[in-house]
Chains A and B, each alone.
Chain A
């Protein structure tokens, strides 16, 4: 756990910094790998940049719409830099809609764009896992295994590190598929890379969630995060294999 990084007089909040680092590295990798996927690097990185920007605005607007009274009493809070005043789900939803709209405007197929943005998503997943580790979220069940970590009054599975390791392996696989795509005579079916990434990420998540000590559970003990992960996995596998077996366009 590393909530704050002290550099001389500066105290940097690591959980807030990691998504920014992920954003920068992910954007860089996306721009670098786009040509291998036969995409124009500038188009993909422009769409990514503006989608993130619009997503940030959307994340704030979702909070404003939920609690307008709070902002009426303090209008300056609208432009506050507090990340706690951002709605993550609202931000992702707005960013996806923005990316879809920008892709339409640029005449780029949605699924080709999704493939182009996959390296970004893979890096962000690692950043989020490390963020959870820095913050002590997503913690594991108590364990006696030698690699257990002392956290919140018990020796626990380092679930955040399991997740980060799994996400790193997914990124390595994405890298391999991107390299294969660059060497293939024809571009891969649109959306194949994206759905492969989603399927493997969901699989990793389901595995890791089984060790969590903070899962939301039903009365009969089913972990809701795992159930959601299995459903995402099923959908992603269907799309992956449908694309993989489709005749070339």
Chain B
């Protein structure tokens, strides 16, 4: 007996009914690929465009996220009083030093609305951070990214779409490296 015939004879009518319902439902719920991406405004979620923002960095420059299209971006939200942020920043700096020339940018947005600037400057000097530190003085970027816990890190592809989110920390250095390499594979 063939496999198909064996399948047919084994399956009783309730089984066939269940299977038929599933097949018909699958056919009926076919989706226009565009439909799944329509109505997707920028949102802090995997698969969506990262919400754009413009902030002034600690170094005094203006940084607009959308200007980084074409580069792999690690978007980190932190504060100087947050212990896991302190723990992961040295790894972040090492990863930046290793991959910046390959197309990786780390943007570490500081929660300046609740973190006095002198503390931020002391923190950056202490850890020798060389990547941009935008200052969110009004807290509007933290709100737009729904940051409930520090640190929170978004991994953004060269097309500006969020690929992964890690809430909490400290992140292991290998995690940063694996995600950086995966994003950089899209840049090349």
Contacts and interface: CB of A to CB of B under 8 A. Distances in A.
Interface stretch (A45-53, A120-128, A172-180, A221-229): A221-229
Interface stretch (A23-31, A108-116, A136-144): A136-144
B113 interface: no
Interface string B68-84: 00000000000000000
Interface string A80-123: 10101100000000000000000000000000000000000000
Contacts of B148: 3-4, 6, 11
B103 interface: no
A194 interface: no
Given A67-B178, A74-B91, A221 B10 contact: no
Interface stretch (B30-38, B59-67, B118-126): B30-38
Contacts of A142: 39
Contacts of A82: 166, 171-172, 175
B132 interface: no
B36 A206 contact: no
B188 interface: no
A241 B47 CA distance: 40
Interface stretch (B11-19, B104-112, B134-142): B11-19
A203 B18 contact: yes
B15 to A, nearest CB: 4
A189 to B, nearest CB: 13
A152 B28 CA distance: 25
Nearest to B16: A237
Contacts of B12: 241, 245
A242 interface: yes
B175 A85 contact: yes
Interface string A12-27: 0101100000000000
Given A3-B149, A240-B15, A220 B30 contact: yes
B90 to A, nearest CB: 11
B164 A223 contact: no
B174 to A, nearest CB: 3
Nearest to A79: B172
Given A199-B15, A241-B15, 20 more contacts: A11-B148, A13-B168, A77-B174, A82-B171, A82-B175, A152-B40, A152-B43, A206-B22, A206-B25, A209-B29, A211-B29, A214-B36, A214-B47, A217-B31, A226-B26, A230-B22, A230-B26, A233-B19, A241-B10, A241-B11
9 contacts: A4-B149, A141-B36, A142-B39, A199-B18, A217-B36, A220-B30, A226-B26, A237-B11, A238-B11
